[in-house]
Structure 1
């Protein structure tokens, strides 16, 4: 009896494996980056002009979502992008760094410009609530306001990974928050060499 049960179980395992293989081999192939990115329209701190998904084309990009009142994750990550560029000897024309606000009510164009002024070559992207929701949706970014106890102030929980985008505007990978410096450098080097 036990032998028959094993045969039936192995038959089910084989059927599942065959089915998964058939589904994998017959599903339509998505173009590169099809599951990531999409249309958006923000304003760039560098020019005060509209910045869209089309402006990503031409230069490899590191895109990070955050907010200017962020106590640690955002400033630390932006500092790390500076270290990566410096260690690899990269100019702004070699690698663009974008800081996209997830806090449109506080992060105006002027606030973002002031916040980013000490950082070399980091471009901020700002927009209204609808524009911010659109770019977050396009890149699968999560954020939510969190009220601070006994205060009218709030913080924002948000996705803390850096998105790597190649010079054709396609998703290339991510760098996680506080990832090992050498690992991050290797990823950035591969990004700019594609």
Structure 2
């Protein structure tokens, strides 16, 4: 075989091997968690516009650069919401220094009653670092579809005594602002914090 052809074949094989090794190195590490499910391919979220607990805009950009746990609920919730926020306070304490990589967002599905002032008072009771936001129903419904959670208004005896049914899962958003997975009931502080340490340590 002529030397120039041989050198060409060697170069082609080396290039192919280099591409294969590069692809392997660029693949995300496989992570297994006990408290829920990580998406094999993170899902882009639709553009959204919420109002946070300080009356400021909370949009997709606020999700970039850190991991975010999103919990959908409402401040008049009698048990699930306060119980979950209490759990998340304990989880953040167990994360230690890794907690700096994570933000918690309480997403109210009751915009008629959950004003920014009420949301701020509510979440800060559990942890002053927790964020809260809400939006008109049309905006919430768009985000609910993108994040795969559901909610519905349940009428009460009077127009103001309604309640809200809602998903209890925690939604995990990665530092690129993509839906990365879900943590599902029953949620336990020890297992959830262990899973988050693994994710945050690899992210």
CA shift at 1:177, angstroms? 3.1
The one of the two structures with greater contact order (alpha-carbon pairs below 8 A, sep at least 6) is: 2
| Residue in structure 2 matching 1:94, options 74, 79, 101 | 101
Structure 1 residues without counterparts, runs of 5 or longer: 1-30
Structure 2 residues without counterparts, runs of 5 or longer: 1-39
Give a deviation string over 1:156-176, Cα, whole Å, max 9, x none. 110110111121222232222
Q: Which runs of 4+ in 1 moved over 3 A?
A: 90-93
2:37 paired with 1:33? no
2:180 paired with 1:157? no
CA shift at 1:129, angstroms? 2.1
> Taking structure 2 as the reference length, what is the TM-score of the superposition?
0.72
C-alpha change, 1:86 and 1:158, in structure 2 (3 Å) is: same
Which whole-Å CA distance do the structure 2 matches of 1:53 and 1:92 have between them? 21
Number of aligned residues = 162
CA shift at 1:137, angstroms? 2.1
Query: Could you say what the CA RMSD is over the residues aligned between the two structures, in angstroms?
Result: 2.1
Preserved contact between residue 91 and residue 190 of structure 2 (Cα < 8 Å): no
Partner of residue 52, structure 2: 44
Which whole-Å CA distance do the structure 2 matches of 1:50 and 1:63 have between them? 16
